[in-house]
Copies of this chain bind each other. A is one copy, B any other.
């Protein structure tokens, strides 16, 4: 820490991203990346003609992408803002919006960044524990006195809320902004976009990093009423107006227009998820019902840490959170079928070893 650091950040605990290994040969199932390449239409953007224009700034409004998202969801372009990944969009949200109480409510556990953003922007974080079955209890989000942020499906559980419960939360929190983080929505949950017409306290955040296979391009976006989006633009244009790579804007626009590839790849992921979930259950695992591109699983005999470590030693990276009530679980990204077969076979070996001891 330098002597110039703003003292308000002295005790700030930054987010810890999942490991990004620099060596090859690992099966990487730890950061919920899509195992399939970006859409061919998105890849075609990176042609000599476009690459040789990289000395030019991007359009700070990312109009091509904003228009493509608006078209896709049937919104007006003033209802969409694009960002450098949904993390930047979320950071802008925590910066831009503040309830009179300064409070922010979110599930615990959920995406670990919600707490970090609350800390950075001096908001009072109010984590609401999950129910014993690790589901969000919608009752606990009614009639609150602060901003609400919910990941749907939730992470790291993968469990989705149904839209009726979300609508009840929106209805009973008329004076509160409700942010729904739909990073994983395309893998089996339902988007809240239709509610945008009815509720002006709703803001939806999505990303191209998961279902659109573009984590490396850094593209996320938010959808809401025009006033909310104008507020976010006010922050963006006061922080980093040129926040998207030129080619990322074009690639993301191409990706969202390629519905055929999107449907094909997400279907494969959902099928693989169904299959691996059944296989792991047959081995005595508890597998939470996932609507995401990952599963959250607990072995009947291995501790979460031992399972994580055993897989790591055999070159399979998954994610383990050393905290209650989820320390017995590991989060496994759904990879290609062959990678999941390897995971399954290594898992069987680990269980056999465990039984021998």
Q: Which of A13-21, A184-192, A299-307, A349-357 contacts its partner?
A: A13-21
**Given A5-B96, A38-B52, A54-B217, A243:B15 Cβ within 8 A:** no
- The residues in A between 180 and 238 inclusive whose CB is less than 8 angstroms from any CB of B are 200-201, 209, 213-218, 225, 227-228, 230-231, 233-238
Whether A177 sits at the interface, judged by CB under 8 Å, is yes
Main DSSP-derived SS at the A contact region: loop
Chain B residues with Cβ below 8 Å from A243 are 84-85, 88, 218
Whether A314 sits at the interface, judged by CB under 8 Å, is no
Whether A36 sits at the interface, judged by CB under 8 Å, is yes
Complex alpha-carbon distance, A37 and B51, angstroms: 9
Complex alpha-carbon distance, A146 and B300, angstroms: 59
B218 touches A97 (CB 8 A): no
Interface residues in A, total, Cβ within 8 A: 86
Whether A312 sits at the interface, judged by CB under 8 Å, is no
Chain B residues with Cβ below 8 Å from A59 are 20, 22
A246 touches B217 (CB 8 A): yes
Chain B residues with Cβ below 8 Å from A35 are 55
B33 touches A55 (CB 8 A): yes
A15 touches B57 (CB 8 A): no
Whether A245 sits at the interface, judged by CB under 8 Å, is yes
The 0/1 profile, CB within 8 Å of B marked 1, for residues 21-40 of chain A is 01000001001011111100
Nearest CB in chain B: distance from A82 CB, A: 13
B57 touches A238 (CB 8 A): no
Chain B: which residue is nearest A58 at the CB level? Answer: B216
The 0/1 profile, CB within 8 Å of B marked 1, for residues 261-303 of chain A is 0000000000000000000000000000000000000000000
A251 touches B216 (CB 8 A): no
Complex alpha-carbon distance, A215 and B12, angstroms: 32
B2 touches A225 (CB 8 A): yes
B242 touches A218 (CB 8 A): yes
B216 touches A245 (CB 8 A): yes
Complex alpha-carbon distance, A117 and B235, angstroms: 10
- The residues in A between 147 and 183 inclusive whose CB is less than 8 angstroms from any CB of B are 147, 177
Chain B: which residue is nearest A63 at the CB level? Answer: B22
A6 touches B96 (CB 8 A): yes
Whether A345 sits at the interface, judged by CB under 8 Å, is no
Chain B: which residue is nearest A237 at the CB level? Answer: B14
Complex alpha-carbon distance, A88 and B215, angstroms: 19
Complex alpha-carbon distance, A96 and B227, angstroms: 29
- The residues in A between 129 and 159 inclusive whose CB is less than 8 angstroms from any CB of B are 147
B55 touches A247 (CB 8 A): no
Whether A110 sits at the interface, judged by CB under 8 Å, is no
Chain B residues with Cβ below 8 Å from A34 are 55
Complex alpha-carbon distance, A16 and B52, angstroms: 26
B217 touches A245 (CB 8 A): yes
Whether A119 sits at the interface, judged by CB under 8 Å, is yes
A5 touches B84 (CB 8 A): no
B241 touches A55 (CB 8 A): no
A residues adjacent to B (C-beta < 8 A):
1-9, 12, 14-17, 20, 22, 28, 31, 33-38, 42-43, 46, 48, 51-60, 63, 84-85, 87-88, 91, 95-99, 116-117, 119-120, 147, 177, 200-201, 209, 213-218, 225, 227-228, 230-231, 233-248, 251
Given contacts A4-B98, A38-B55, 10 further A-B contacts (CB under 8 A): A1-B227, A9-B231, A9-B234, A17-B57, A17-B237, A17-B242, A20-B60, A37-B52, A38-B52, A57-B216
